[in-house]
Structure 1
Amino acid sequence: MGKERGEGKYSHGFSHGEMESLASICEAVLPPSSSMEDQTLQSFYRASGSQPPIPDEIAELLTKRGLIEAKLIVRIVLLMLSTRLGTLLLCGALSFTWNFPYINKFSSLCLEDREKVLQKWFKHCLFTPIRIAFIYVKVMCLYIFFSRVDGTVKNPAWKAIGYQLETDGDLSQVPKDRLLQKGMIETKHETHETLVQSLIQKGLKATQDSKQEHIKVQCDVVIVGSGCGGGVAAAVLASSGQKVVVLEKGDYFTPAEYSPYEGPSLERLYECGGVLPTVDGNMMILAGATVGGGSAVNWSACIKTPKSVLREWADNHKIPVFGTTEYLSAMDIVCKRLGVTENCVQESFQNQVLRKGCENLGLKVEKVPRNSSEDHYCGSCGYGCKQGDKKGTDCTWLVDAVNHGAVILTGCKAERFILEKNKSGSKRKRKCLGVIAKSLNETITMKLQFEAKVTISACGALLTPPLMLSSGLKNRNIGRNLHLHPVLMAWGYFPEPNTEFKGKSYEGGIITSVHKVVSGDSDVKAIIETPQLGPASFATLCPWVSGLDMKNRMTKFSRTSHLITIVRDQGSGEVKLEGRISYYLSREDKENLKAGLRRAIQILIAAGAVEVGTHRSDGQRIKCKGLNEKEIEEFLETVSPVDGAISFAENWVLYSSAHQMGSCRMGINEKEGAVNENGESWEAEGLFVCDASVLPSAVGVNPMITIEATAYCLSNRIAEFLRIQQTKKVY
């Protein structure tokens, strides 16, 4: 951060004309104004989205993270806006001027007219590419503006919006020990020569094959991924006597090394730096990409698999393990290892709102167990728990694994599985011999070839399918049946002073309460929880109506409570290439989301919000003072899920997802699933999947306990598989 335009430090490749157009759009998204008396607010309102180096950082982010077609569309639109003719085509009559040559290019339009153009694109444009371009620029502009940190780790906008993190507290109790160090090899610190020596020192047989340009490593089990599935599998298999290697493309951080700030945390800990949309732009996806995977950055909720879901998986999908005491016992073992607690000493502002609103309506609200202590009051667990209280796989299962001799390689990305023709007489035509990986350290050019008796893919529902397909597997279920637990949000504003709800929106335990929206036949249509939203996430999800409206919304950030509606989706998507995710909501999903959104708004009103609304693009909201039941119901009738961000709909909404499942699901045969009930590929002997992608369908609740319990059962079966193989060799 902190680079100035013109210094030659940017590699985005945008032309001067494109950058001029981009800066002009950014200024209209967040324009300067001066109507506030308070000095702090004056500084914020006078700030602009076009201030250097924000446009250059947007161009960098788009180049680095944007989908190919999005980059192309944005650059075409920017290029057109840099010319008079292109501006006429895209902006119409607003581009006219009384002076020769009578047409302005976009950057020459007055700020008011530029804002009118954006409003037109945002609300009424039926030419989808223009809308795509604007949404990308708008989202990235707001994200960078509110997430930037300078040399003193501050953002000039934060004080104005009431965002003041306590970073100078007592950190003496924060764990500084690198619990995984004795099993850790961080490839970013290695060279070819030192890497081989480090592998040998960890008890592995490693040789450098210069002819084939490989470093060969032999082990019993190689696991790709260190999250909820991979961490559990590593612990179980290492404790059974197997020499286990875990490959993780992300880095390892101790609690003391986590940042409390949104921008740096998303960049270091999340897939694609936290900027991962579906290909149609309708949904933004969050997925962990660090040692511990999703367990290192999730919101601590530890909800067991619902009994109705277990019955469905056992009876309808014919996967017996989900109907056994073995699975129930696995959930108890997982909860014990994670130190799950049932109570919360002090609930956060948002959870207070959820609980009070439900109580005032006579609705049931349940406590959410967490993998932390009962007095854990940390609002930044989504950025890695700096207090070291939350127990992800990085400080539980992986510790067990390295204590039993497991080795973890960070900065190491798997490229393909090593498959050969199966000569054992098995029904499976192929046999997996290991995995080929590469170090993300560019000084290590040799590939790493891990040869193992068992290979486990545990890199999550978004990455396991592309890895399997790139290895030559063909099963029709690989990459399909992807469930995302789609999320929509409602918000309520609770201005200070308010003695009933203490705290700020970004403080305290993220999820400690849940309300289930139940239909007449007792089916759960949706669950309502509370999210973690830093200033940048808040801004990017907020509807943009005008620049001034956006700034006004942001000044209410710290006392705006959000409630998220999560549904157990019947619709599904596909992910067959890394980073390219498609997804479709079913009609039932939309109805359930509507029921959840309506209930969320009712809860916010009942809790005493002075204003409530949704994230619909038209800025849908209503003042609550003096509302009667009829007026509330009339407003609720207008609340419903609408088409996604790049559709032709005048009003649209951006969905989000933090749970991904089912893209390599278990099945009773190869027509029904990508793997069998033991997690083994139907096509390749010795290749197993042990992550959320094996789940037969969506869970309907936060899935961490389900993933870990499933991984526990599967890895115990893999251990038995290896024991039998060893017995056969002995005899």
Structure 2
Amino acid sequence: MTGRIYQWHDLTEAQTLHADVCVIGSGCGGATVAKKLAEAGHDVVILERGGYYPESTFDQSELGMNAKLSADRSMRASADGGTLLLSGHNVGGASVHYWADSYRTPEDRLQLWAERYGVTGHDLATLTPAWDELTTTHNVHPATEEYHNRMNRLLREGAHKLGWEGHPVPQARKHCVKSGHCMQGCVYRAKQSQLVTHIPQALALGARVYADVEARTLVWERGRVRRLIARVVHRPSNRVSDIELAIDARVYVVAAGGFYSAPFLLKQGLRKQLPMLGKNFGMNPSAMVHGLYDEDIVLWRNIPAAFGVEQFRLARYDDAGRYVEGGYLLMANQIQPGLLGGMMPLMGEALGEWMAQMKRVGGTIAWIDDPPDELGELKLASDGTPRVEYPFGPKTQAILRDTIKKQAQLQFAVGARKLLVASADALVLERQADLAKIDTLPIRAGGLYMAAPHPSGGCIMGRSAKDSVTDSTHRVHGFDNLFVADSSVFPTPVSVDPSFTIMAFSYVAARHIDAYLG
């Protein structure tokens, strides 16, 4: 029997739902684990706090689509106010506005998690069959030449000039029309998000999706969850209503995303028995550098990241343990005109000078690999919302400063007339000799204009409740039927875009849940 998507206007009175599995969240983790469990013959219910927006509702508007697809309209920041926290708020989660980069987890990262954190059953041999299947399902392939816009070609040219290793980025796309509206959701169904892959596949297998429903309270005793209490969200006002849903299931899977899964469990009063809950949190803060060129770049057309510089993915340290360079990926940036203006630290005539030449503005961005010994923590704010505390320790500062220097070096190598660092100091660089100014650039809260698109940790996987939140079967320590399936189980950041890692890990979670259900 084909499943159905229910929305707020369908849920007008209190009711009890029954299922084998209740999944909280519909992004890369939740949708994937739901599809795999429905495929195994289980009755699955998916709860999504955000709304359901099919492609017919997409209008390619920066403002309108940000309100639909992004939590808090992308305006929630870390506790110090310095970094915007980007996450999905809709059926399909962040995959609906992501760039569709689909990297397999580097083997060195899987080995690190196994050796240092005690993660088992997530090695390359185990995950490769999942990735092979996902590659077909999501049509993942390296970006071909026609999908390299001018900025991606300049990035590639600069990498070759400087002798830096890089490759076409693996993309989850099919029949892409190069509109450049990837962050506004793909009206053409070309970007293979969960909205067009695992969600409809799960529905076809009988799963039910309840959009506009906020999971609130786990009712549990003696290590077993008996019931989940949720409330319907009145979508027009975005306010939680008094209409209550109770979900009685055999298994509960928390897949609310890296910013929300740990806070949800914190609300259940689990911190005392799980001292690592909320800890080892990474958020991949991303520094960017804008460049002004003598040719049209048109930054917001074609796909965002067709080429990636991987030369510096792993940080290098000297024999004394001092940071040398690296710890990030370099990509061509892609932001629409409105956001581009907002990410320029200028006002008045200075801003007008750049925006008047908008088509000739290019740029780069770096995804950093947060150092494991400088990770942050997720807590609860006084109003119960997630509070992100991130230290920006000395290694993190050094990495961010190095990303800016490398971005500037590359853009000058391919003909940028001048560069503007996205920083509160509005640092302008006009020649190679100006790179020395980056050495004294303050790296502080609000000092750089940054967003955090790739959260990890908070419910990390490991050996016991003393050093982790979940075991290697994705089960929460101390519980019989409570699992976590999203990026919050990663002990450290992935060092590449995490979406493909989340999905492959969710295959492992689904296999263990299926075995538990018998």
Distance 1:353 1:302, change over 3 A: same
CA contact (8 A) 1:490 1:564 kept: yes
Alignment of structure 1 residues 459-608 onto 2, 5 Å: 459-474=256-271, 475-495=274-294, 498=295, 503-518=297-312, 524-544=326-346, 546-570=347-371, 571-577=374-380, 578-608=385-415
Distance 1:623 1:523, change over 3 A: closer
* 1:19 corresponding residue in structure 2: none
* 1:433 corresponding residue in structure 2: 226
C-alpha separation in 2, matches of 1:641 and 1:414: 43
C-alpha separation in 2, matches of 1:708 and 1:490: 31
Tell me the SS of whatever aligns to 2:410: helix
Tell me the SS of whatever aligns to 1:419: strand
Tell me the SS of whatever aligns to 2:122: helix
C-alpha separation in 1, matches of 2:240 and 2:71: 23
Displacement of 1:640 = 5.8
CA contact (8 A) 2:130 2:507 kept: yes
Provide runs of 4+ in structure 1 moved above 6 Å: 519-523
Normalised by the size of structure 1, how large is the TM-score?
Answer: 0.65
* 1:613 corresponding residue in structure 2: 420
Larger radius of gyration: 1
Displacement of 1:327 = 1.6
CA contact (8 A) 2:44 2:206 kept: yes
CA contact (8 A) 2:166 2:311 kept: no
Q: 1:255 aligns with which of 32, 38, 55?
A: 55
Q: 1:452 aligns with which of 226, 249, 255?
A: 249
Tell me, which stretches of 5 or more residues in structure 2 are unaligned? Answer: 318-323
Q: Does 1:674 align with 2:477?
A: no
Q: Does 1:236 align with 2:36?
A: yes
Q: Does 1:337 align with 2:137?
A: yes
C-alpha separation in 2, matches of 1:375 and 1:263: 23
Q: Deviation per CA, 1:138-170, whole angstroms, max 9, x where unpaired?
A: xxxxxxxxxxxxxxxxxxxxxxxxxxxxxxxxx
C-alpha separation in 2, matches of 1:435 and 1:462: 20
Distance 1:520 1:670, change over 3 A: closer
Q: Does 1:281 align with 2:115?
A: no
Range with greater deviation from structure 2 (437-446 or 614-623) = 437-446
C-alpha separation in 1, matches of 2:94 and 2:366: 20
Q: Does 1:185 align with 2:6?
A: yes
Instruction: In structure 1, give the amino acid aligned to 2:6.
Output: I
Instruction: In structure 2, give the amino acid aligned to 1:514.
Output: G
* 2:321 corresponding residue in structure 1: none
Instruction: In structure 2, give the amino acid aligned to 1:580.
Output: R
Displacement of 1:361 = 2.5
Instruction: In structure 2, give the amino acid aligned to 1:670.
Output: A
Displacement of 1:298 = 0.3
Range with greater deviation from structure 2 (180-189 or 461-470) = 180-189
CA contact (8 A) 1:191 1:444 kept: no
C-alpha separation in 2, matches of 1:703 and 1:636: 33
C-alpha separation in 2, matches of 1:335 and 1:618: 43
CA contact (8 A) 1:492 1:609 kept: yes
* 1:107 corresponding residue in structure 2: none
Tell me the SS of whatever aligns to 2:121: helix
Displacement of 1:260 = 0.8
Displacement of 1:641 = 5.5
Q: Does 1:708 align with 2:503?
A: yes
Distance 1:639 1:290, change over 3 A: farther
Tell me the SS of whatever aligns to 1:217: strand
Distance 1:294 1:443, change over 3 A: closer
CA contact (8 A) 2:47 2:215 kept: yes
Q: Does 1:663 align with 2:463?
A: no
C-alpha separation in 2, matches of 1:551 and 1:364: 36
Q: How many residues align?
A: 497
CA contact (8 A) 2:469 2:477 kept: yes
Instruction: Give the alignment's Cα RMSD to 1 decimal.
Output: 2.1
Tell me the SS of whatever aligns to 1:452: strand
Q: Deviation per CA, 1:444-467, whole angstroms, max 9, x where unpaired?
A: 633101010000110011111121
Tell me the SS of whatever aligns to 1:685: coil
Tell me the SS of whatever aligns to 2:474: coil
Q: Does 1:696 align with 2:491?
A: yes
CA contact (8 A) 1:477 1:672 kept: yes
Displacement of 1:181 = 8.8
Displacement of 1:589 = 1.8
Q: Deviation per CA, 1:524-564, whole angstroms, max 9, x where unpaired?
A: 522101233123322222113x4221222222333211111
C-alpha separation in 2, matches of 1:282 and 1:181: 45
Tell me the SS of whatever aligns to 2:191: coil
C-alpha separation in 2, matches of 1:524 and 1:383: 31
Distance 1:634 1:623, change over 3 A: closer
Displacement of 1:633 = 4.0
Range with greater deviation from structure 2 (531-540 or 334-343) = 531-540
Displacement of 1:575 = 1.8
C-alpha separation in 2, matches of 1:718 and 1:560: 49
Alignment of structure 1 residues 17-56 onto 2, 5 Å: none
C-alpha separation in 2, matches of 1:672 and 1:493: 48
Q: Deviation per CA, 1:50-104, whole angstroms, max 9, x where unpaired?
A: xxxxxxxxxxxxxxxxxxxxxxxxxxxxxxxxxxxxxxxxxxxxxxxxxxxxxxx
Distance 1:366 1:443, change over 3 A: closer
CA contact (8 A) 2:3 2:205 kept: no
